[in-house]
């Protein structure tokens, strides 16, 4: 009897250890696949930054190759060279995953391309008699065309990589709804009886999104386009811009589905009849929108 009991205990222990080992293997495979995808994204962003740095250096070379007999024009060219040199040094210090900064440097590169073109035209008009300078200007135009092609390719790469980063980390919501509540807490669709607006939704599961405490922001626009809010100081950052919000709520997100409700307390006479729009924001992204009506 004692031997049989020991055998049963051994079988249970063996099954438990096997199940634990299988779970560890599954989790390891999932972690490896997720880590490999994120590594590929970061590598792609690093390559994008390197290409952008090279484009700035090529642009500096083009400015260095410009020559003129006009002292004022030469001084302006030197100022632009120094400006590009400073941008190259700044670009080396930013992280490749800082896509907002990379986008700023991309726009600056486009501006400098226009500046380069204007100087080429000026030098060409000031030195039309000099055949050698004419030949060099043709070469500058060829290089400018190469810059345009490279910038278009870089922009396409950046757009693709940004889309991957957004898909991998942005939260998404479903089942979004909104309704008015009267002072008793009951649902109502009459604007005159509504003193609170309730907006509810479900945040979807996302294992690649950062976990922890998150601020969820709610913006509600009246039918006349006016934002419902209590203070001009109630702001958050969206696309590098500070914008106002109607209400917010802090939630702890662990990567799994999460039901959330946010309430806006309306001031007396603030609500009017018509169609309202409720928008949800988190982590700097617009993640949900819903329209509802009060009469």
* pLDDT single digits (tens) 93-103: 776 566 777 77
H or E element at residue 32 = helix 2-64
Q: How confident is the model at residue 282 (pLDDT cuts 50, 70, 90)?
A: very high
Order of strands across the sheet that contains 212-221: 247-253, 212-221, 274-282, 285-294
Average pLDDT rounded to a whole number, residues 43-49: 68
Q: Check residue 255 and give left, alpha or beta (phi > 0: left; psi -120 to 50: alpha).
A: left
Identify the residue with better confidence: 167 or 244: 244
Q: How confident is the model at residue 8 (pLDDT cuts 50, 70, 90)?
A: low
29 CB-near residues (< 8 Å, 6+ apart): none
41 CB-near residues (< 8 Å, 6+ apart): 161, 164, 165, 168
Q: In this predicted model, what pLDDT tens digit does every residue of 48-67 receive, in sequence order?
A: 777 777 777 777 777 777 77
d(CA 169, CA 82): 38
Both tokens of residue 255? Answer: 């990567």
Give, in order, the Cα–Cα distances in Å from 290 to each of 55, 140, 208, 293. 43, 53, 25, 10
- Domain boundary assignment for the chain: 35-169, 173-294
d(CA 78, CA 247): 51
| 183 DSSP assignment | T
pTM of the model: 0.46
For residue 261, what are the β-bridge partners? 200
**CATH architecture under which domain 173-294 falls:** Sandwich (2.60)
Give, in order, the Cα–Cα distances in Å from 222 to each of 113, 146, 230, 273. 44, 50, 14, 9
Distance of CA 246 to the CA centre of its chain: 22
Closest by CA to 194, choosing from 246, 272, 262, is 272
Q: In this predicted model, what pLDDT tens digit does every residue of 261-275 receive, in sequence order?
A: 999 999 998 999 999
Q: How confident is the model at residue 28 (pLDDT cuts 50, 70, 90)?
A: low
Closest by CA to 87, choosing from 34, 49, 126, 118, is 49
97 CB-near residues (< 8 Å, 6+ apart): 42, 45, 165
The per-residue pLDDT of the chain, averaged, comes to: 80
CB 219 within 8 A of CB 281: yes
């Amino acid at each position: 009897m004692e031997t049989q009991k020991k055998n049963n205990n051994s079988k249970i222990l063996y099954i438990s250890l096997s199940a634990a080992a299988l779970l560890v293997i599954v989790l390891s495979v999932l972690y490896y696949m997720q880590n490999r995808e994120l590594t590929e994204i970061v590598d792609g962003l690093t390559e994008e930054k390197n290409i952008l740095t090279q484009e700035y250096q090529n642009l500096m070379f083009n400015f260095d190759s410009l020559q003129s007999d006009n002292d004022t024009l030469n001084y302006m060219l030197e100022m632009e060279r120094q400006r590009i040199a400073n941008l190259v040094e700044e670009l080396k210090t930013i992280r490749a995953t800082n896509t907002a900064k990379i986008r700023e440097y991309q726009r600056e590169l486009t501006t400098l391309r226009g500046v380069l073109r204007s100087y080429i035209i000026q030098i060409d008009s000031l030195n039309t008699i000099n055949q050698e300078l004419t030949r060099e200007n043709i070469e500058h135009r060829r290089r400018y065309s190469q810059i345009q092609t490279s910038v278009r390719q870089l922009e396409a790469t950046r757009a693709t990589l940004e889309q991957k980063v957004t898909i991998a980390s942005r939260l998404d919501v479903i089942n979004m709804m909104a309704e008015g509540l009267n002072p008793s807490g009951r649902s109502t669709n009459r604007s005159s009886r509504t003193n609170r607006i309730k907006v509810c939704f479900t945040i979807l599961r996302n294992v690649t999104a950062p976990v922890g405490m998150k601020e969820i922001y709610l913006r509600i626009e009246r039918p006349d386009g006016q934002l419902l809010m209590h203070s001009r100081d109630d702001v958050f950052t969206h696309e590098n811009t500070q914008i106002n919000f109607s209400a917010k709520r802090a939630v702890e997100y662990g990567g799994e589905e999460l039901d959330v409700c946010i309430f806006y307390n309306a001031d007396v006479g603030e609500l009017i009849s018509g169609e309202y729009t409720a928008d949800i924001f988190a982590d700097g992204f617009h993640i949900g929108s819903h329209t509802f009506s009060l009469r």
